[in-house]
A and B are shown apart, each in its own frame.
Chain A
């Protein structure tokens, strides 16, 4: 073999070595597993500050991140959305699309409520035709529409309030 090809092989070996290293790292980069935690606003203390500040500046709407926190926007959104009006998640809004919204304590739910009176999969809010329906998923402490305990799916109209433990959800058109 010529000197040139030997040198090329020598360098090729180093290149191959680094290819192994870098592709191993590339595999690691795609290897995230477990759970991902997405911050949904700040802690309760700072939220109170933020609310106070929002009242002063009177421009509470945040960037359109889908789920919004803080004080409820007074502007009329184009799509229907679900607003949490009381409970630990007060101030959260969820835009409603065609997909059903699952409410409960389990991490897989769309709206995760950390409340002892809330079941893992508590209730479901979904679109049937052009009406929104709310359905209890066999929760222990019940889902209340107004003062009525929900058993079978019932229509959920704009302005209605659904109560789950200490949390109240309001549908806004």
Chain B
């Protein structure tokens, strides 16, 4: 016997305001340090930057108070903190490249993307008043996701950069449609699984005390697997295919509670990984760069050069880092996008990197908590899927940079330079705000 008592919800809007203040302070201090070390510090400009950040934070806060008053209080501060550090780091790379005679404006561009991303997230909570609306677009989202995934293959539209064909050029800017396809697929998986979870969970033979799915119920899993493999073959995008497949398996597990799906999924993943390694040279070279990164031969041939330079950068950072603007992260190729984690590891040290990872953990934990609190099956799957997507993406990137897993090109959410990633991840935050708002909103008392 147990008593069930309701615990009053605290909206936490005031705590959010305090945390937002900390996040803004962090962003401004980071930029100040970067500017100082580049001998570029002008207090007027920094004051304008600080005012801009404060205004953005206040606007977000007011928008949430207005349109999602019960939304989670720590999501936005954690994201803004990450975003501020990312902006400072990217600006720092601009200075470093300028010192070497390469003129870049990554920092300014990224500020514009950030503002656009914030606006999109606020638009999500303004327009999407009930997340259950998304369930109506289950199959539409699936089709949109597939189209997004395949767009880079369209001749004339898709562009190939560094051997991966994952960009499309729109208005002179290159976009990665896969980042947006990720959200569409999570919506599709959530809608699909909430309808079909019972067949997937209950039917099938029992082997070793675990219920395995029937072959014909494996259809969707096989389909996603094939799609992921095709992306990998034609677009040479290991990261996205890994991410998509991982999200699907995780959501399948959340929907059915069957460990057998995870085992089947991991088995299929292992098969795919081995097959790809045997068949494609670009995958095989990634494996070599991972396993034999420090071999003189592999390093000299350039396969593992980026990875090893990143590792040395992080090692020189040590426990507390060289300090923002005082290291040499520009020695690593793509230090502002793919390897921003290594740059941060060098300049903020292990202490800073751990704090950054903890911020990601907090974001993911809030998504999972929202999934638990949501009363609707679709919302549970959506929140869990979005949270897991962020977690897996961070794992793939940070794991790749720190040589835990083979390096695959994905962006670090909110930190790395890249417009599509910034916009897509802010949309994810908008969705999570809406979901958590509805999860935490007290139910109207019916007598």
Does B5 reach chain A (CB closer than 8 Å)? yes
Contacts of A31 in B (CB 8 A): 10, 12, 73-74
Pair A24/B5 contact, Cβ less than 8 Å:
no
Contacts of A12 in B (CB 8 A): 29
Pair B362/A24 contact, Cβ less than 8 Å:
yes
Pair A38/B440 contact, Cβ less than 8 Å:
no
Pair A27/B74 contact, Cβ less than 8 Å:
yes
Contacts of A7 in B (CB 8 A): 323
Q: Provide the bound-state CA to CA distance between A7 and B29, in Å.
A: 13
> Among A23, A32, A37, which residue has its beta carbon within 8 angstroms of that of B18?
A23
Contacts of A89 in B (CB 8 A): 1
Q: Provide the bound-state CA to CA distance between A10 and B36, in Å.
A: 12
Contacts of B265 in A (CB 8 A): none
Q: Provide the bound-state CA to CA distance between A36 and B36, in Å.
A: 51
B82-139 residues at the A interface, CB under 8 angstroms = 85
A97-149 residues at the B interface, CB under 8 angstroms = 107-108, 112, 114, 121
Q: Provide the bound-state CA to CA distance between A41 and B36, in Å.
A: 64
Interface-side segment among B249-257, B272-280, B301-309, B347-355: B347-355
Does B3 reach chain A (CB closer than 8 Å)? yes
Pair A10/B33 contact, Cβ less than 8 Å:
yes
Report which residue of A14, A17, A21, A34 has the largest number of chain B beta carbons within 10 angstroms of its beta carbon.
Answer: A17
User: Nearest CB to that of B440 among chain A residues?
Assistant: A33
Q: Provide the bound-state CA to CA distance between A27 and B23, in Å.
A: 14
Pair A27/B359 contact, Cβ less than 8 Å:
no
> Among A20, A39, A114, which residue has its beta carbon within 8 angstroms of that of B81?
A20
> Among A1, A13, A33, A40, which residue has its beta carbon within 8 angstroms of that of B373?
A33
Count of A-B residue pairs with CB < 8 Å: 125
Q: Provide the bound-state CA to CA distance between A23 and B16, in Å.
A: 10
**A28-B365 contact, Cβ under 8 Å, with A20-B23, A92-B1:** yes
Pair B2/A10 contact, Cβ less than 8 Å:
no
Can you list 30 pairs linking A and B with CB atoms under 8 Å apart? A6-B323, A13-B33, A13-B352, A14-B320, A14-B321, A14-B349, A14-B351, A14-B355, A16-B25, A16-B26, A16-B29, A17-B355, A17-B356, A18-B355, A20-B77, A20-B78, A20-B359, A25-B362, A27-B12, A28-B365, A30-B15, A33-B373, A34-B6, A36-B6, A36-B7, A41-B1, A88-B1, A108-B5, A112-B3, A114-B1
Please give 18 more A-B residue pairs, beta carbons under 8 A apart, in addition to A14-B351, A31-B74: A6-B323, A11-B320, A13-B29, A14-B355, A23-B19, A27-B15, A27-B19, A28-B74, A30-B15, A31-B10, A35-B4, A36-B5, A36-B6, A36-B7, A89-B1, A92-B1, A107-B5, A112-B4
Residues of B whose CB lies within 8 Å of any CB of A are 1-10, 12, 15-16, 18-19, 22-23, 25-26, 29-30, 33, 36, 73-74, 77-78, 81, 85, 320-321, 323-324, 326, 348-349, 351-352, 355-356, 358-359, 362, 365-366, 373, 440, 447
